[in-house]
């Protein structure tokens, strides 16, 4: 079955720095890749997603890149702020049919003032 690996498991940056989280997936049929942010005591919140027909997508300080040949995708956060501190999860699924999201193991991001 599908397997998604995520690195690093923890990431500490200074406020204003950039943060990059990387994921690889195993199922070549996967073509939908969302990223979720989970704060303590809350459910995951979608922050950005990308589909296989594009290589990059940007939303203000957040961007995601996708390399289907290498089967990896990355989350980029620029100008980090303390409120960006949370656990981030990547996920993968096939876009058509009934979707089953397969999640990575998560990255704990800590942004220090």
Partner 1 sequence: DAGVTQSPTHLIKTRGQQVTLRCSPKSGHDTVSWYQQALGQGPQFIFQYYEEEERQRGNFPDRFSGHQFPNYSSELNVNALLLGDSALYLCASSHGTSGRRVGETQYFGPGTRLLVL
Query: Cα torsion for 36, 107, 86, 96, to the nearest 10°?
Result: 0
Torsion of CA 60, 105, 12, 86, to 10 degrees: 60
Q: What does the CA dihedral 56, 57, 58, 63 come to, rounded to 10 degrees?
A: -60
- The sign one gets for the Cα dihedral 35, 39, 40, 44 is negative
**Least gap, CB of 6 to partner 1 (angstroms):** 8
Tell which positions 16-45 bind partner 1, by CB under 8 A.
32, 34, 36, 41-45
What is the total count of residues that contact partner 1 (CB under 8 A)?
28
Tell me the per-residue interface mask from 59 to 78 with partner 1, x by CB under 8 A, - otherwise: --------------------
Letters for 78-97 (x = contact with partner 1 by CB under 8 A, - = none) are -----------x-x---xxx
The residues that touch partner 1, with contacts defined as CB under 8 A, are: 1, 4, 6, 32, 34, 36, 41-46, 49, 51, 89, 91, 95-106
């Amino acid at each position: 079955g599908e397997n998604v690996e995520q690195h690093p498991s923890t990431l500490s940056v200074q406020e204003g720095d950039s943060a990059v989280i990387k994921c690889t997936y195993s199922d070549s049929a996967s073509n939908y890749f969302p990223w979720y942010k989970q704060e303590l005591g809350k459910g995951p919140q979608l922050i950005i997603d990308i589909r296989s027909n594009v290589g990059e997508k940007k939303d203000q300080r957040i961007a995601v890149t996708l390399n289907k040949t290498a089967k990896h995708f990355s989350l980029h956060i620029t100008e980090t702020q303390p409120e960006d501190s949370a656990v981030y999860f990547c996920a993968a699924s096939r876009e058509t049919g009934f979707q089953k999201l397969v999640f990575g193991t998560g990255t704990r991001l800590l942004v220090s003032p």
